[in-house]
Amino acid sequence: IAQRHLLPKALERHGMKDLGITFEDGALERLIQTYTKEAGVRQLERELSAVLRKLARHSLQPEKGEAFNPTLTAGRIPALLGPEKYLETRPDAQALPGVVNGLAWTSVGGDLLTIEAATVPGKGNLKLTGKLGEVMQESAQIALSFVRARTERLGLASDFLEKVDLHLHVPEGAIPKDGPSAGITMATALISVLTGIPARSEVAMTGELTLRGRVLPIGGLKEKLLAAHRMGVKAVLIPTENARHLEELPAEVREALAIHLVSHMDEVIQLALTRPPEPRRSDRTATVSA
């Protein structure tokens, strides 16, 4: 849209059609990702016009600033428009216990939703921060109940909640967040911090969690996976029932991402953590008598 429609119109409007101005794809991508935040193209059109006005000034008064250069690269955009207005969340380079990458849908596309979990001395309270809505708070309670029901399989002491409080935080606390699709991400963050096993930093996930550990389908899959690809995520975990929506995804994105279909939280644990938790001995040696 920018190359075929917005840019030619802006060049015509500013009387710059004959100056040989070209935008490399990387320059337009940087404009879109870090200077606009909307579903439409009005802000992008305004930013393109701002760049052209700066170039026009350079062409008329080269001695008072940067010499006129008709080729726009990604590296030149901040010099022309100033500091980037929007910075996107990127996965941590290092895997850390309690830090898990989720995926979120927003009105302007998908985004990476990092969830952090921490333990502090206490008596089993769960604290939630990050301006979470009612549904998301309920997802956190479900995640904790699932963990409590799996203490032996996860290698946790049966009385672990008598000694610690748990804190779940979703950064960018000024932005309201809601919806059930962070359920498996919250559960993974709690399991990771309680077991001390880091979650894979190159993996992101989305899915609603039930008390029995089932992973239910979610909405906005296309936008979420496009965001994962844009942020450099290597693998994603999505609900099995969302497999039918993968056809909506561009072929190059499907090929770049390792997409794992999961139907139960046990599968999420195996794929998301750097190693599986060690069950308590009573669970490993349990037998069934007739």
Catalytic residue set? 181, 224
**Would you say 219 and 240 are in contact if contact means Cβ atoms under 8 Å apart?**
no
DSSP string, 58-85: HHH-GGGSSPP--EE-GGGHHHHH-S-S
SS3 268: helix
Distances (CA, A) of 39 to 28, 44, 106, 125, 223: 16, 10, 10, 39, 12
Encoded amino acid at 48, one letter: L
**Would you say 153 and 160 are in contact if contact means Cβ atoms under 8 Å apart?**
no
Q: Is 192 exposed, middle or buried (0-12, 13-18, 19+ CB in 10 A)?
A: buried
CA dihedral in degrees (169, 172, 173, 177; nearest 10)?
A: -80
Question: For the chain, what is the total number of helices (H) and then of strands (E)?
Answer: 10, 11
DSSP assignment letter at 181: T
What is the distance between the alpha carbons of residues 92 and 46, in angstroms, rounded to a whole number? 33
What is the distance between the alpha carbons of residues 12 and 134, in angstroms, rounded to a whole number? 50
What is the distance between the alpha carbons of residues 110 and 96, in angstroms, rounded to a whole number? 24
